[in-house]
A and B are shown apart, each in its own frame.
Chain A
């Protein structure tokens, strides 16, 4: 079976647009125009210029010598943490703000978990002078406080999502409801490869620049590429141009929380079953009755009971291997990377590094890890859990 998206917006059995009729005009408009717009010379010219001069691309591919020595393998870091605003999320928001502008939208909404996507959206809106409203779970507002302040400084309004687990899933529900209630002037900048078609494809295309650069920066293919998976946007970005290269092993790392055998986990690949969440058929953590369960991860950006439909398909087809990492393993990896390389990673990102501990590494292995974001936003968690 093909690894790619089909005409109806499905990746095998996953994907599609399970949207209420109220969203049809907006989603249809996007579906009909996104490829035309993002492939146009005029869009590409502005997009590429902003990626270079505003975001700071290409980001370096850095050979981490002390980490390589520690694990006796060659380890390269794709430095998305050096993007403006501190994570890969901005690749997507810059692309989508240019799209929104061309669709004539005046009002931007977004959901955010860790706050990185919220900050990246608020940044793009400030850049273009557009109104910005970010929905964020009440629990995440507390644990990612610096990002809330950043969004406000950038002129965005942060609205707390008070329902359910008061995390990313609920923020996404509120953003979808906002879009239903504002059917003509609003564009929804989704933060990951989730949601109804065409969002997973749109966001993947905008993040694909990560693997495009890795290809150009590395002499020959790596043996492995690893990335953390919340919704899956940094992972798809890092895998995109390597999907057909069978010599490259692709590994996605999910948040196991307290462990996949506990009721406090966010490892959707391990624990999910097929179902519809946020208007997409994908793997979902749910009860036998089809009620979505409340996930847990110490990392707000991975604390999500679903996963992008493309990942669900890549998992089913066996092209990408998905493993999980506990809260504690991720926290340990934060300290190791900080002390070996002088880089404090985001908690989400640390999940990818933690997997190194469990791999049977050889000196001939050449591993690229997508360093999706920096850890400033997580300082309060680090102070609480790490002896610093």
Chain B
């Protein structure tokens, strides 16, 4: 988690985290996409491990998961592809707990450490089970478990999550599945309140960020933004994924200042 911690310290504001689905659009695109996104200015990359039943995801990411699985992606292949990504890029693996369990938890954590993974986002691994069964192992392999909070998360629980966190907290802009595309208008009050939360760790906001204005708004109220579905949609049918990745970062960061 060292690279992730360093970037959070050296760049306390305006962070950009982009999500891509491993194996999408083509089986072996991951290294090109990760390296190109970083070169163009993404500070960290979240890499989705495809799953047949992604219950927290909307249609866009569901579809990318389906395409990637059809292409033949697997966790083992993702680790092989990670060896081809530039080592200095902060990288987070995101995925559902079942494929990780079947891969074998010990082996998964070792392979993460070997391939330069800094953190994990496992949306269906709840805090209580994390604490009792996973925490020690993740810490041994220097993997930061990144927790989600929502507008409905009670303050007491946010503080508990803050205590368990080691890098950043992932605040979802509205309690929803990914890629709802509702925009951030309804989340304005929530975003404004983030800075005053009595917590120690930086906050990155995700869900519903699809335009430069959205990202700029998030940057005003939090340490960074996370973009997923908008990038996956953008990648669809692009002939050259490296160029498309760069173009997307240019597009999303090139915003007129919001008032």
Residues of B within 8 A of A290 (CB): 51, 98-103
**A186 CA to B130 CA in the complex, in Å?**
27
CB distance from B78 to the nearest CB of A (A): 11
Query: With A25-B152, A180-B56, A275-B102 given, is the CB distance from A291 to B51 under 8 Å?
Result: yes
A292 touches B (CB below 8 Å): yes
> Is A21 a contact of B98 with CB atoms below 8 Å?
no
Interfacial residues of chain A within 177-209, with CB under 8 A of chain B in the complex: 177, 180-181, 183-184
Name which of B121-129, B136-144, B219-227 contacts chain A.
B121-129
Contact with B along A85-96 (1 / 0, CB 8 A): 000000000000
Question: Known contacts being A176-B55, A180-B177, A184-B152, is A20 close to B75, with CB within 8 Å?
Answer: no
For window 114-168 of B, CB contacts with A under 8 Å fall at 123-126, 128-129, 147-150, 152-154, 157
B180 at the interface (CB under 8 A from A): yes
Q: In the complex, which residue of chain A has the Cβ closest to the Cβ of B77?
A: A289
Instruction: Give the shortest distance, in Å, between A295 (CB) and chain B (any CB).
Output: 12
B62 at the binding interface (Cβ < 8 Å): yes
| Residues of B with C-beta under 8 A to A177 | 55-56, 58, 177
Name the distance in Å between A160's Cβ and chain B's nearest Cβ. 13
A184 to B177, alpha carbons, bound, how many Å? 15
The distance in angstroms between the C-alpha atoms of A16 and B129, with both chains bound, is 9
Instruction: Write out the residue numbers on chain A whose beta carbons fall within 8 Å of the beta carbon of B123.
Output: 20-21
Q: Which of A18, A25, A289 contacts B126 (CB 8 A)?
A: A18
Does B52 touch A at the CB level, under 8 Å?
Answer: yes
- Taking a contact as CB atoms closer than 8 A, the residue among A18, A22, A275, A289 that contacts B148 in the complex is A22
A3 to chain B, nearest CB (A): 22
Instruction: Report which of A20, A25, A289 forms a contact with B124, defined as CB distance below 8 A.
Output: A20
Given contacts A169-B53, A291-B69, contact A18 B125 (CB under 8 A): yes
- Are B101 and A20 in contact (CB-based, < 8 A)? no
Instruction: Give, as a whole number of angstroms, the nearest-CB distance from A45 to chain B.
Output: 33
Residue B175 lies at the interface, judged by CB distance under 8 Å to chain A? yes
Q: Is A8 an interface residue (CB 8 A)?
A: yes
B contact residues around A288 at 8 Å (CB): 102
**A17 partner, pick from B55, B101, B126, beta carbons under 8 A:** B126
B residues less than 8 Å from A8 (CB atoms): 128
Q: Whole-angstrom distance from the CB of B47 to the nearest CB of chain A?
A: 16
Q: In the bound complex, do residue B152 and residue A183 qualify as a contact, i.e. CB atoms below 8 Å apart? A: yes
Q: Does B209 contact A (CB under 8 A)?
A: no
B residues 38-76 touching A (CB-CB < 8 Å): 51-53, 55-56, 58, 62, 66, 69, 74-75
Does A164 lie at the interface of the complex (its beta carbon under 8 Å from any beta carbon of B)? Answer: yes
- Which residues of the partner chain B approach A173 to less than 8 Å between Cβ atoms? 53, 55
B74, B101, B148: the one contacting A276 at CB < 8 Å is B101
Q: How far is the CA of A21 from the CA of B176 in the complex (A)?
A: 11
Evaluate contact between B102 and A286: CB separation under 8 angstroms.
yes
0/1 string, A216-231, CB within 8 A of B gives 1: 0000000000000000
Quick check: B152 and A20 within 8 Å, CB to CB? no
Q: Whole-angstrom distance from the CB of B31 to the nearest CB of chain A? A: 21
Determine if A260 is an interface residue (Cβ-Cβ < 8 Å): no
Residues of chain B within 8 A of A279, CB atoms compared = 55, 124
Alpha-carbon distance A22/B170, docked complex (angstroms): 12
- Picked from B53, B153, B177, the residue with its CB within 8 Å of the CB of A24 is B153
Instruction: Say yes or no: B99 contacts A291, CB within 8 Å.
Output: yes
B94-108 interface with A by 8 A CB criterion = 96-103
Kindly state whether residue A19 has any CB partner on chain B within 8 Å.
Answer: yes
Residue of A nearest to B182 (CB): A181
Q: Given A16-B129, A24-B126, does the pair A275, B101 have CB atoms closer than 8 Å?
A: yes
Complex interface bits, B14-58 against A, C-beta within 8 A gives 1, otherwise 0: 000000000000000000000000000000000000011101101
CA A303 – CA B123 in complex, angstroms? Answer: 27
A178 to chain B minimum Cβ distance, whole angstroms, is 9
B35 to chain A, nearest CB (A): 26
- Considering only CB atoms, which chain A residue lies closest to B96 in the complex? A276
Bound-state CA distance A195–B69 (Å) is 25
Chain A residues lying within 8 Å of B128, measured Cβ to Cβ, are 8
The reply to whether B98 and A277 contact each other, CB–CB distance below 8 Å, is yes
Q: Is the CB of A22 within 8 A of B175?
A: yes
Interface residues of A in 248-278 (CB under 8 A from B): 273-278
Supply 19 A–B pairs (Cβ within 8 Å), ascending by A: A16-B129, A18-B125, A18-B129, A20-B55, A21-B126, A21-B153, A22-B152, A22-B176, A177-B177, A180-B56, A183-B150, A183-B175, A274-B101, A276-B97, A288-B102, A289-B103, A290-B99, A291-B99, A292-B98
4 shortest A-B CB distances, which residue pairs?
Answer: A290-B102, A290-B99, A183-B175, A21-B148
**Chain A contacts to B: CB under 8 angstroms:** 8, 16-22, 24-25, 163-164, 169, 173, 176-177, 180-181, 183-184, 273-279, 284, 286, 288-292
Known pairs A180-B55, A275-B98 / 11 extra A-B pairs, C-beta < 8 Å:
A18-B125, A21-B147, A21-B153, A24-B157, A25-B152, A163-B66, A173-B53, A276-B96, A276-B124, A289-B103, A291-B51
